């Protein structure tokens, strides 16, 4: 039976927690795309924002998810400068041909910036996500879990 694949990138852990909720709801596990660029401290933050807004693809540790058996692929990321974050960009470029024909979900978390901007950025650089979800870092746990559950249900489309 076809499965769902869940990948995420995170700097401070919010995207990981969300990816794990979504993965649990989809009966799978979440795989981290390791960001190999130092992102801590002021310079790490500034570099992250610069690389995101200039559409950089930065070095990653690829979790090597087997996408052949997946019919749904979920990508979870924080919003940096309203953009696709560099480690996710690298992963998407590396796996573009494997993603063709699959149902794609994008789920983001931010401090409050307009999520529609990142949805549009994702669509113009890569593909139109079939399902899009978003929470704010400050949302309660209950709101976040409900958003993850809705998203998982929507990407599975009644499966
Ligand atoms: C470089 C950088 C740029 C950011 N840009 C935005 C932004 O444009 N809008 C926003 O609402 N939050 C922005 N944030 C905040 C993150 O999206 C937010 O803290 C998120 O919860 C972090 O997720 P993580 O714990 O998975 O790394 C930015 C954070 C960083 C590090």
CATH of residue 116's domain is 3.40.50.360
Query: What is the number of structural domains in the chain?
Result: 1
114 Cα to the center of ligand 1, angstroms: 12
82 Cα to the center of ligand 1, angstroms: 9
How high is the pLDDT of residue 70? Answer: 97
The mean of the pLDDT values for the chain is: 96
For the segment 7-32, the average pLDDT, to the nearest whole number, is 98
- Tell me the CA end-to-end span of the chain in Å, nearest whole number: 11
Residue span of the structural domain in which 13 resides: 3-156
How high is the pLDDT of residue 1? Answer: 56
Say yes or no: CB of residue 49 within 6 Å of ligand 1: yes
How high is the pLDDT of residue 2? Answer: 81
Say yes or no: CB of residue 33 within 6 Å of ligand 1: no
């Amino acid at each position: 039976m076809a499965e769902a694949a869940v990948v995420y990138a995170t700097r401070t852990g919010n995207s990981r927690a969300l990816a794990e909720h979504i993965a649990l709801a989809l009966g799978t596990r979440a795989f981290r795309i390791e960001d190999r660029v130092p992102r801590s401290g002021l310079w790490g933050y500034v570099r992250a924002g610069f690389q995101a807004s200039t559409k950089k693809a930065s070095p990653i540790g690829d979790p090597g998810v087997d996408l052949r058996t997946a019919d749904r692929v979920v990508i979870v990321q924080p919003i940096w400068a309203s953009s696709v974050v560099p480690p996710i960009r690298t992963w998407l470029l590396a796996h573009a041909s494997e993603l063709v024909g699959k149902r794609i979900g994008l789920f983001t978390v931010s401090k409050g910036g307009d999520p529609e901007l990142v949805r549009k950025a994702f669509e113009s650089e890569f593909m139109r996500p079939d399902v899009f979800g978003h929470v704010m870092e400050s949302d309660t746990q209950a709101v976040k879990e409900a958003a993850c559950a809705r998203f998982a249900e929507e990407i599975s489309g009644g499966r």
